[in-house]
Amino acid sequence: MSKITSREIRLASRPEGIPTTANFTLAQTKLGPRQDRQVLVRNLFMSVITKRLTMKGLIVRDWLDHQGEFEKEVGGYFRAGKLKHKETVVEGIGQAMGAFIGLFAGKILARWWSS
């Protein structure tokens, strides 16, 4: 059995107005072992569209044939200072719910880390 745990933010109740932490629960699920040709994917972003939650991630193996091209082009932009990123880093799983709610309020820019 894998020792990897999936941390999931689940809808506990339908929000009335702006969502609060009370509308969500944090669940942890142990993942089974990865099978041949499977990869572990970390979600890059989530967006809420008209009362529906959409989660989008990147399946790395779908784009491996473009990796060299991507690193050459995007790396050049970063080195030249033409491409910059902004993010808010919140450490610890205990802060995940507040960071998630912060996305809706515009206080959190991109992601949080759990250590």
What pLDDT was estimated at residue 112?
47
Angle 49-50-53 from CA coordinates, rounded to 5°: 50
In three-state secondary structure terms, 14 is: coil
Q: Express as a percent the part of the chain with pLDDT over 70.
A: 77
The rounded mean pLDDT for the chain is 76
**What is the Cα 54 distance to its own chain's centre?**
12
Going 58 to 62 to 63 to 64, the CA torsion angle's sign is positive
User: For residue range 91-103, what is the model confidence (pLDDT) as tens digits?
Assistant: 787 877 887 787 7
**pLDDT at residue 60 above 60?**
yes
Its pTM stands at 0.32
Residue % of the chain over a pLDDT of 90: 1
Q: What is the pLDDT of residue 115?
A: 46
pLDDT of residue 91: 79
Among candidates 112, 84, 83, which has minimal Cα distance to 97? 112
Looking at the DSSP bridge assignments, the partners of residue 54 are: 47
pLDDT tens per residue, range 9-55: 888 998 888 888 889 888 888 888 877 877 777 776 665 555 566 66
| Mean pLDDT of the 79-85 span | 83
